[in-house]
Amino acid sequence: MNQKVNWFFDKDTKWQKEYQKLRTIILGCGLTEELKWGCPCYIYQSNNIVLIHGFKDYCALLFHKGVLLNDSNKILIQQTENVQSARQIRFTNVDEINDLEQTIKEYVFEAIEVEKAGLEVKMKNTSEYEMPEELIQSFENNPELETAFYDLTPGRQRGYLLYFSQAKQSKTRKDRIEKLMPKIFEGKGYNER
């Protein structure tokens, strides 16, 4: 147990029992416990294997390369359609965790084997993401914006494309683009300060 991570398990949340049980199971698999993204993350030879996190309606184990796991029990969930690599196992009570304890261990050990084998997830290229019409129009009206956008890292470009595309209405997409133009010119991602 990493003492720096204890605060996560000590804080008063509705998932406290579930978090403790998941921690015990995962530490029993021989992984190193670290704090990443404000959550307990379990590492094998500097590689992220699985993370514990919670939401309003469930807590979860997030396997960083879950898409590469066999998932013989069909329990892995893709959080959103844009998540390419990670997959979750979700829980709503400690009994579910107890019932799946052996399966959880099997998935953790399989995830370790994925790392040992050096397997990588083939990620979509930025060019494979749909470009909102409003962004194309903004590029036509402001070529400097287009240059600044393509000077961004591929990850930042994808972040903007996903954020702009999530808006259902054209007006909202236009507003988002207009509001975030200064960040694009600064070379920052849409959620960076």
If asked whether residues 48 and 76 sit together in one domain, one would say yes
If asked whether residues 100 and 130 sit together in one domain, one would say no
- 70, part of any domain: yes
If asked whether residues 103 and 83 sit together in one domain, one would say yes
Predicted confidence (pLDDT) at residue 128 exceeds the cutoff of 80: no
Backbone angles phi, psi at 167, to 5 degrees: -70, 135
- Residue-level pLDDT at 166: 86
If asked whether residues 41 and 69 sit together in one domain, one would say yes
Separation of first and last alpha carbons in the chain: 33
Total count of domains within the chain: 2
If asked whether residues 167 and 96 sit together in one domain, one would say no
Average pLDDT over residues 180-187: 96
Cα angle vertex 121, ends 59, 102, to 5°?
40
Which of residues 109 and 123 earns the better pLDDT score? 109
DSSP-derived secondary structure letter, 123: P
- Residue-level pLDDT at 80: 78
Predicted confidence (pLDDT) at residue 125 exceeds the cutoff of 90: no
Contact present, 39 and 52 (Cβ < 8 Å)? yes
Chain segment 88-98, per-residue pLDDT in tens: 999 999 999 99
Residue 71: left (phi > 0), alpha (psi -120 to 50), or beta? Answer: left
- In one letter, which amino acid is 126? T
User: What is the chain's mean pLDDT, rounded?
Assistant: 93
Average pLDDT over residues 177-188: 95
Average pLDDT over residues 46-53: 97
At 26, which CATH number? 3.90.1150
Average pLDDT over residues 64-68: 95
Predicted confidence (pLDDT) at residue 123 exceeds the cutoff of 80: no
Contact present, 89 and 75 (Cβ < 8 Å)? yes
pTM higher than 0.85: no
Predicted confidence (pLDDT) at residue 81 exceeds the cutoff of 80: no
If asked whether residues 134 and 112 sit together in one domain, one would say no
Contact present, 66 and 88 (Cβ < 8 Å)? yes
Predicted confidence (pLDDT) at residue 64 exceeds the cutoff of 80: yes
Average pLDDT over residues 50-64: 97
Residues contacting residue 174 through CB under 8 Å, at least 6 positions apart: 134, 138
CA distances from 190 to 63, 124, 176, 184 (A): 25, 19, 10, 8
Nearest to 163 by CA among 188, 142, 144: 188
Range of the domain at 49: 3-116
Contact present, 115 and 71 (Cβ < 8 Å)? no
- 11, part of any domain: yes
- 191, part of any domain: no
The residue from 92, 116, 140 where one domain ends is 116
